[in-house]
Structure 1
């Protein structure tokens, strides 16, 4: 998809919507009800059928809005409302007040993924005015960034419709290329329970930090094994599984042997069915190697494993009937990605084949001074023009 010589006629509207969306601090730790109310009002005023799906806490919600007929299979345009935290001290500008610098728009969520939502909002009036032959479902979820927690409720809601959608387009940043695969992920918390005391007696203790470090080293070696031995799928940006520790906490003082250490690690896999088996194999390997040593000194020593969250890999939807019908207007293929999305959730929980197409680069996501190129918004709007034409046929 190529940039047009002239700015898209709805580009200003998209930029305005994006500024509004960035103004909502939807960091995953906070409620997203204000932005859901904003979206609900917007789509209701266009005449869409709007459904809000609150979570059990009442502090979070998903939104599903439909334009077009309900009695034929349609297409989902899906994005998440939450963003990762932003440390304002690391930013040149307020992360929740969008700022334009040259050809870029800065703010938390500009590319991941409120830029897509802003384009959806800018294009929605044209969809609403059209005599759509198929329905469009606009879906906005909560808590994608902390484990795709909201999307399953949307997927189940869509699956229970009399005529469910036939394809989902997930608007994660892909530089407007078509992505036809995404890795799954398991996030695990490990707590090592040792036995502490005054550090001058360290040989008599089970140092939880030391054993945690040994487990982390084993995780790193397993990741290097994936890199050497595969399995491989070279359509992915990283063509093999990866495993790494991301957070470590342990110890209370320099003269106390730590009796507890907690860390978090992740496994991203190209084969979701193999992932659970790989995780169990790692657990078995660690416990066989370390628990006998630990319990020789402290019989109550243990290693506790707790899954924090997991989400499924997204399969290849290019063989699905709706994809083949839509293929002529889709952008060039960009392979498969290692980052997560809700596409696998729509596929597994809703039976809806999914692809990723969205503005912005994933390399800008989750960073200070996150930005999106204005041209990417224009390309997204141009794609929605083609989708609008196709939906009217």
Structure 2
């Protein structure tokens, strides 16, 4: 099968984040099995979603991980001009949800399997495909935790997020949480008999604004835009009607941290403000939504130099979006971002990848693997 054929199959699975993904996992497992490659399916704690891991070459030597996520964001925008889960070609463009982010990389990696096998690499090439990356990298930590039983400690990982095949060495870390405050409803004419959850949220929001201002004075990394960590409240819901004391208020907050700063720590003042409300009779809940560290791969890392040599382009120092790369790096595995497509096309209607980008990615994977085959 060509990379385009494989991409058409992968796009046909509506593997939307937060939903069961057995169908796409089983298809990939069967495809690898048809080439004699055994894949290990690694169910997550949710029970209906799994990661997948497979190896070409010896498992007892440090090797290269080709990492990507199988999940996609929903495709409910009315602007789609064709079925988002049916690959459509128009000239060089291949349209479909996940074509760029990031089933294109998965398709290129899987299309390379026959030639990767022919290389008989002395150092292994691993496939690590995860779930729920779009929900804050929730699936891959479970895969990383089991690497010790699957292979020798890997030397490096290439995370195939859309980057125009230019390697990227850094991104910010992120932590996000949902805040819930429950009070007591009542008629607005008797506020003394109720507990106003929206009013109670006010000091929590004030703590978030203060944290955002404080972050601007923290460590700076010129490679990022902006060059400092950030905190924001991104969603706020509460209340039913003007004359009803609101019994519920929900907010969602996030922190994006430059390297060397803990994104969770940036949210701590907000969590402390929330905890104070318990003494006032409110019921509160702090629900973590995501937590992944920043990526900061040294400029002289072997995988960075290798990709620079292959592509003829120096790796970018940093990008604004986050990926699973920071989690691999935290596990002691050099990680770098490099994949086909453009992040500007992701999460939008009529998402596409170019057929030429797909072919170029397959060539890059084979060139990279050939260097590992000789290692």
TM-score, length-scaled by structure 2: 0.89
Q: Which stretch of structure 1 is more off in the superposition, 14-23 or 269-278?
A: 269-278
CA distance in 2, matches of 1:202, 1:192: 17
Equivalent residue number for residue 233 of structure 2: 245
Deviations 1:104-162 (Å, cap 9, x if unpaired)?
22211111110110111222221112222211001111111112222122212223456
Equivalent residue number for residue 384 of structure 1: 365
Query: CA shift at 1:323, angstroms?
Result: 4.9
Aligned with residue 161 of structure 2, among 165, 172, 195: 172
Equivalent residue number for residue 353 of structure 1: 334
CA distance in 2, matches of 1:64, 1:317: 27
CA distance in 2, matches of 1:215, 1:92: 43
Query: CA shift at 1:392, angstroms?
Result: 3.4
Indicate if the aligned counterparts of 1:183 and 1:312 stay in contact, CA closer than 8 A.
yes
Indicate if the aligned counterparts of 1:243 and 1:265 stay in contact, CA closer than 8 A.
yes
Indicate if the aligned counterparts of 1:189 and 1:306 stay in contact, CA closer than 8 A.
yes
CA distance in 2, matches of 1:84, 1:134: 34
> In the alignment, does 2:123 pair up with 1:142?
no
> In the alignment, does 2:321 pair up with 1:332?
no
CA distance in 2, matches of 1:251, 1:285: 21
1:53-64 matches, cutoff 5 A: 53-64=42-53
* Ranges in structure 1 where 5+ consecutive residues have no aligned partner: 1-11
Equivalent residue number for residue 49 of structure 1: 38
Indicate if the aligned counterparts of 1:74 and 1:136 stay in contact, CA closer than 8 A.
yes
> Does the C-alpha gap of structure 1 residues 381 and 319 become closer, same or farther in structure 2, counting only changes over 3 Å?
same
Equivalent residue number for residue 325 of structure 2: 343
Indicate if the aligned counterparts of 1:18 and 1:118 stay in contact, CA closer than 8 A.
yes
Equivalent residue number for residue 232 of structure 1: 220
Q: How many residues align?
A: 373
1:198-213 matches, cutoff 5 A: 198-201=187-190, 206-212=195-201
Equivalent residue number for residue 264 of structure 1: 252
Query: CA shift at 1:196, angstroms?
Result: 3.4
> In the alignment, does 2:345 pair up with 1:364?
yes
CA distance in 2, matches of 1:326, 1:118: 20
DSSP 3-state at the match of 2:144: helix
> In the alignment, does 2:212 pair up with 1:223?
yes
CA distance in 2, matches of 1:272, 1:308: 21
DSSP 3-state at the match of 2:318: coil
> Does the C-alpha gap of structure 1 residues 305 and 321 become closer, same or farther in structure 2, counting only changes over 3 Å?
same
Query: CA shift at 1:254, angstroms?
Result: 3.5
Indicate if the aligned counterparts of 1:126 and 1:388 stay in contact, CA closer than 8 A.
no
> Does the C-alpha gap of structure 1 residues 271 and 321 become closer, same or farther in structure 2, counting only changes over 3 Å?
closer
Query: CA shift at 1:257, angstroms?
Result: 2.0
Indicate if the aligned counterparts of 1:186 and 1:311 stay in contact, CA closer than 8 A.
yes
DSSP 3-state at the match of 1:89: coil
Equivalent residue number for residue 89 of structure 1: 78
Query: CA shift at 1:170, angstroms?
Result: 0.4
Equivalent residue number for residue 9 of structure 1: none
CA distance in 2, matches of 1:220, 1:104: 43
**Alignment root-mean-square deviation, CA:** 2.7
* Ranges in structure 2 where 5+ consecutive residues have no aligned partner: none
Equivalent residue number for residue 283 of structure 1: 271
> Does the C-alpha gap of structure 1 residues 166 and 317 become closer, same or farther in structure 2, counting only changes over 3 Å?
farther
TM-score, length-scaled by structure 1: 0.85
Deviations 1:287-346 (Å, cap 9, x if unpaired)?
77xx5xx97xxx413654332331222231544455556653254312212322111222
> Does the C-alpha gap of structure 1 residues 68 and 287 become closer, same or farther in structure 2, counting only changes over 3 Å?
closer
CA distance in 2, matches of 1:97, 1:214: 48
DSSP 3-state at the match of 1:245: strand
Query: CA shift at 1:217, angstroms?
Result: 5.5
DSSP 3-state at the match of 2:112: helix
